[in-house]
Amino acid sequence: MSGEPFPAALALPPEFAMIAQPLRGAASTVGAPTIEKETRSQEELEVPWNVVVHNDPVNLMSYVTMVFQRVFGYPREKAERHMLEVHHKGRSILWTGMREPAELYVQQLHGYLLLATLEKAV
């Protein structure tokens, strides 16, 4: 060991040397972190939520059908029915239920690059 904190191959360029070194003798201006707990009213959690997919001009109809099958486990016929509703009406409610699973479905649909939103069921 040469006493260096990193092997030479991993060393930072000289212009970053000051950033990598802790300040000596400087008082910290950062206080203890504040932990905030996310709170939602019980009513907000219990109200049913809709997962809505909106039409876009990019994705192929076959791709959208496949995504509905993968994310929701729908049979092909049901997935195609929802896809056609999105195509003709501009949107389709794919799932209704508790908020947390609905948020997960929206995130999964975003992962497939579909435009999806969450809204309170009426």
Q: Please give the model's pTM, rounded to 2 decimal places.
A: 0.65
Q: Mean pLDDT for the chain? A: 84
Residues 6+ apart with CB under 8 A from 116: 51, 52, 53, 54, 105, 106, 109, 110
Residues 6+ apart with CB under 8 A from 10: none
| pLDDT of 11 strictly over 80 | no
> What's the average model confidence in pLDDT over 86-107?
97
Chain segment 53-94, per-residue pLDDT in tens: 999 999 999 999 999 999 999 999 999 999 999 999 999 999
Domains in the chain: ranges and CATH: 45-120 (3.30.1390.10)
